[in-house]
Amino acid sequence: MSVGSPAGHGVTARLPAISWSIVPAGFVVLAAPAFFVALIPWLGWTLLAAGMIAAVLVERFAPAPSRPTVRAGSRRETAWVVSRPPSIVRDLSLIAIGMLIVSAIPLKAELDNLAILRFALALGGAVAVPYLISRFVYRDRAIGFPWRGGGRWTWFQWTWLVAVLVLGWLILPFYFITSGVYLNWPVVDTPDLIARLFVGVGAVGIWDELFFICTVFVLLLRHLHPVTANLLQAVVFVSFLWELGYQAWGPLLTIPFALLQGYIFLVTRSLAYVVTVHLLFDAVVFAVLVHAHNPGLFDGFFLV
């Protein structure tokens, strides 16, 4: 797998499928279901502390995996490899800080002004604070947001965008309505509430990619095999979505979605593309929620 750095240096990373780094990373990642599924804050704090202690021990005593080799002059540009040697302690601390900030607020979907402000501050802080610490405190530029990534989209990428809309149209109404999970979102029966829901669903969708992919996944990739890193980021991704409202049998949808988003980012190196995929999916989510709360509004459009 070839990736590159913000400075324009190509890097060929070959990390083992299994390494000691998975131990501290696993503890830190398991804090997500503790915070967002079990709703047991002290358990989440304990797992984060265990993860950071394990990270210190791994960095101090475990044999380091072979590091990437640098090739100067590559035109490929992404965010997860930098000139400074990766530190499992620094990188997991950034993930832990982000999760602590998110866990400070309830994630129940609400549309009043106070709830919107609360979400904006917490979710925005969970992305901004780790980024600023990485850049200005650790000075390793471990986090970045490669908007254009690998260049122009291929015909397959365009086809996948259409497929996302079709799959969403086929699956999401059945999921939300038959399971009753649409009730986890507030009733939207006025133009003002519908507009707030539209903005909220889209904003959270963009944030998902900024945090789970460009922060959590990217930091894990610096220490773990891509498959392992993708599985772990999916745990954090799906746990957040659970508290947000994707419950009942929602993980059967959100787990594949999280894994696919990680894989797509690996292949395309494009934040713009994964955000586009997510927003198309969320556009269907928005329409289904409005339909579920106002059954006559989209009569004939959805199958349920």
Summarised one tens digit per residue, pLDDT across range 208-239 is 999 999 999 999 999 999 999 999 999 999 99
Contact 233, 213 (CB under 8 A): yes
Which tens digits make up the pLDDT trace of 274-286? 999 999 999 999 9
Which tens digits make up the pLDDT trace of 184-216? 999 998 999 999 999 999 999 999 999 999 999
pLDDT at 201: 96
Residue 28 pLDDT greater than 60, yes or no = yes
Residue 5 pLDDT greater than 80, yes or no = no
Please report which confidence band the pLDDT of residue 6 belongs to, taking 50, 70 and 90 as the band edges.
Answer: very low
31-57: average pLDDT: 98
Please report which confidence band the pLDDT of residue 84 belongs to, taking 50, 70 and 90 as the band edges.
Answer: low
pLDDT at 65: 59
Residue 80 pLDDT greater than 50, yes or no = no
Q: Is 285 exposed, middle or buried (0-12, 13-18, 19+ CB in 10 A)?
A: buried
36-60: average pLDDT: 97
Q: Count other C-beta atoms under 10 Å from residue 138's C-beta.
A: 20
Show me where the domains of the chain are located: 2-293
Residue 98 pLDDT greater than 80, yes or no = yes
DSSP 85: P
CA angle 14, 254, 2 (to 5 degrees): 20
62-71: average pLDDT: 52
Q: Comparing 132 with 11, which gets the higher pLDDT?
A: 132
Residue 59 pLDDT greater than 70, yes or no = yes
The pLDDT mean for the chain works out to 87
Length of the chain equals 304
Residue 2 pLDDT greater than 50, yes or no = no
Residue 10 pLDDT greater than 70, yes or no = no
Q: What is the pTM of this model?
A: 0.88
Q: Comparing 81 with 205, which gets the higher pLDDT?
A: 205
Residue 13 pLDDT greater than 80, yes or no = no
Q: Comparing 257 with 13, which gets the higher pLDDT?
A: 257
Residue 297 pLDDT greater than 90, yes or no = no
CA angle 228, 231, 232 (to 5 degrees): 85
32-58: average pLDDT: 97
Residue 201's contacts (CB-CB under 8 Å, 6 or more residues apart) are 282, 285, 286, 289
The DSSP string of 158-227 is HHHHHHHHHHHHHHHHHHHHHH-GGGGS----SHHHHHHHHHHHHHHHHHHIIIIIIIIIHHHHTTS-HH
pLDDT at 167: 95
pLDDT at 301: 75
Q: Count other C-beta atoms under 10 Å from residue 195's C-beta.
A: 12
